[in-house]
Amino acid sequence: MSGPRDILTVIRAALAPHGLFLRGVVHFDEGDGPELKKGGCAAGVVLLGNAGGSLWPAFSAWRANNPDAADPLDTWSKLLIRPLAESIGAQAFFPSDPPWQPFQQWAMRAEGLRASPLGILIHPAYGLWHGYRAALAFAEPLPQVPAISGAHPCDTCLEKPCLTTCPVGAVSAARFDIAACRRHLATGQAGCLASGCLARTACPVGVDYRYPAAQLRFHMAALGL
Ligand code: B12
Ligand code: SF4
Ligand code: SF4
């Protein structure tokens, strides 16, 4: 039987070929974790996600063979992660499934990240170019995984170009105006739909992790729906 540290090794090994990573581990006080189907609350969750375009080669190869799949990125993630969860006695939660689990709060606790003015969490290395694909919840306590240490990049970014680049002013420190953004995307003429959110792209952190053009188009099409 695998010990807790072995479980993290098993998870890392199972996901690496698909461009997904173990992003961090959250430890809950008794009763604070998400409720489990088998009863009780989780003692911890393991966050899984992508850094930069890491998932794109595996995902796009799968998609080429499954062109009609609905919600393709969620479907692909579930096909990979549900069997893994079952094999190691975990329950999988997915970020887009209602009721929404607090993935960003979990990521702040697990990885020591903070929010950018865009609402997206910023990572010191990956910048705004990362995301979460699932959380594996366990009834038993999990091993410690160190959080990232270091300064919050936005604190030392004096010009904050992410707040001044949106062509329709949809982005402000107070809120993200999704209706204004979608109206703009619906015109189809702007750079955003074709080459990604200009506000996100304006950030100078993590430029080497910027998503490949096809992935940017895929996410923008989903946001514009
Ligand atoms: C609903 C939602 C949206 C809504 C926002 C509505 C709103 N005001 O909350 C819309 C459709 C606008 C949206 C857009 C995007 N989203 Co979104 N979204 C979510 C979702 C599914 C639920 C958020 C929620 O309410 N959670 C429940 C609460 C209890 O959890 P929480 O951790 O406390 O929630 C935090 C967020 O709500 C955050 N927040 C509040 N307002 C906004 C607004 C935006 C734009 C974002 C990103 C976060 C955010 O503050 C909360 C406190 O920390 C999450 C996944 C998830 N389960 O959290 C993804 C999520 C937050 N989104 C994500 C992303 C990447 C985006 C987009 C960049 C996607 C894209 N296609 O480009 C855009 C942002 C565009 C931009 N210009 O910045 C990522 C963020 C990853 C990261 N690095 O932090 C998440 C975690 C999904 C994932 N799979 O990784 N999103
Ligand atoms: S442009 Fe500056 S303030 Fe905006 S997300 Fe990037 S580092 Fe943070
Ligand atoms: S996608 Fe374009 S319109 Fe929407 S918030 Fe980003 S810069 Fe603004």
With H, G, I as helix, E, B as strand and everything else as coil, classify residue 77: helix
Q: Which residue has the tokens 């794109």?
A: 56
What pLDDT does residue 176 have?
93
Peptide bond into 167 cis (omega under 30): no
Position in ligand 2 atom list of the atom nearest CA 157: 2
Q: What tokens does 141 get?
A: 């306590």
**How many CB atoms within 10 Å of residue 23?**
23
How far apart CA 207 and CA 215 sit, in angstroms, is 15
How far apart CA 147 and CA 112 sit, in angstroms, is 5
**Boundaries of every domain in the chain:** 4-143, 154-224
55 Cα to the center of ligand 2, angstroms: 24
Helix (H) or strand (E) holding 5: helix 4-15
28 Cα to the center of ligand 2, angstroms: 30
Ligand 3 probe mutation, 172, 181, 185, 225, most atoms within 8 A of CB? 181
What pLDDT does residue 4 have?
58
Ligand nearest to the CA of 165: 3
DSSP conformational letter for 170? -
Instruction: pLDDT tens for the chain, 225 residues: list them.
Output: 456 559 999 999 999 999 999 999 999 999 999 999 999 999 999 999 999 999 999 999 999 999 999 999 999 999 999 999 999 999 999 999 999 999 999 999 999 999 999 999 999 999 999 999 999 999 999 998 888 877 899 999 999 999 999 999 999 988 999 999 999 999 887 679 988 999 999 999 999 999 999 999 999 999 877
Of 101, 102, 59, which is closest to residue 81 (Cα–Cα)?
Answer: 59
